[in-house]
Amino acid sequence: MGLDIDAYFDRIQWLGGTRPTLETLAGLMRAHTAAIPFENLDVLLRRPIRLDVDSLRAKMVDGRRGGYCFEHASLFAAALEVIGFQPARCAARVVLFGPRTLAPRDHLFLTVPVGDATYVVDPGFGPFAPLGPVPLTEGRPDGATHWLERDDGLWALCVSRGDDAPVMGWVSTMQPENPIDFEVSNHYIATHTASPFMNWIMMSALTPEGRVNVMNRDVTILSGAETRSVTLADRTALRGLLLEHFGFDLPEVEKMTVPAIPEWV
């Protein structure tokens, strides 16, 4: 069937234009990340993660679910292609939690040419995702939360969140990859016992007040300048959190096992 672009626009509540301009790209990216959360619950439920457009549409558009990087970037790329953009799919090594020598190329983001410039678009980077296109140029513009630097021959996405010191999020060659490469990476991430996505709850959603981040039982609720921390008491509390902040109900989580939470195994 392919992507029903009108259904996608309805999902992200997009009422703007469809000309392939920077304004359109920025608006669509903001709308996408605001409407579709980052979450890995299907991996923990041992469900297959499929990247074909029909499956992405069924889950994230019709089913109003979220997803992780492979799903977000693949769906967003399909939408961009329908309206005339030419996104390239690129791979990165996430270096937030360890050295690049131990980080596989298991993150998918896009580069999108617009006019004479090219932009990095990364809607599936969870709480570290930029909310708009990042120019593929070196250096931090004034006030930018995300920018690119050169690091040992690679491009590095740098992230600044509030008062925290900037961090390096991922590194990449920016070389376009073939879709089959991401099928292989996706299979590893969704099925290998060493994959963090197989062991941890990892979720993030934008809200009208800020953002809600979840790592296992730890919930951080950002609302304006205020930060509140909550610990999930049980799976029922997790289901309630989904309803309150993530826009969907998933009864199956009340029986879900999470290796990183021994009492939930």
pLDDT band, residue 7 (cuts 50/70/90): very high
**In the annotation, is 72 catalytic?**
no
pLDDT digits (tens, 9 = 90+) for 194-221: 999 999 999 999 999 999 999 999 999 9
pLDDT digits (tens, 9 = 90+) for 48-73: 999 999 999 999 999 999 999 999 99
For the chain, the structural domain boundaries read 5-191, 199-264
**In the annotation, is 106 catalytic?**
no
pLDDT digits (tens, 9 = 90+) for 110-119: 999 999 999 9
> Of residues 72, 90, 106, 107, which has the active-site annotation?
107
Element (H, E) at 28: helix 22-35
pLDDT band, residue 131 (cuts 50/70/90): very high
Q: Is the pLDDT of residue 164 over 80?
A: no
CB-count exposure of residue 13 (10 Å: 0-12, 13-18, 19+)? exposed
Residue range 5-191 forms a domain whose CATH class is alpha beta
Q: Is the pLDDT of residue 261 over 80?
A: yes
pLDDT band, residue 2 (cuts 50/70/90): confident
Token representation of residue 100: 């690049």
Q: Is the pLDDT of residue 146 over 90?
A: yes
Q: Is the pLDDT of residue 35 over 70?
A: yes
**Which of 33, 69, 28, 34 has the alpha carbon at shortest distance from 51?**
69
Supply the pTM of this predicted model. 0.96
Q: Is the pLDDT of residue 161 over 90?
A: no
**In the annotation, is 122 catalytic?**
yes
> Of residues 32, 122, 146, 245, which has the active-site annotation?
122
CA distance 221 to 178: 37
Q: What is the mean pLDDT of residues 127-136?
A: 96
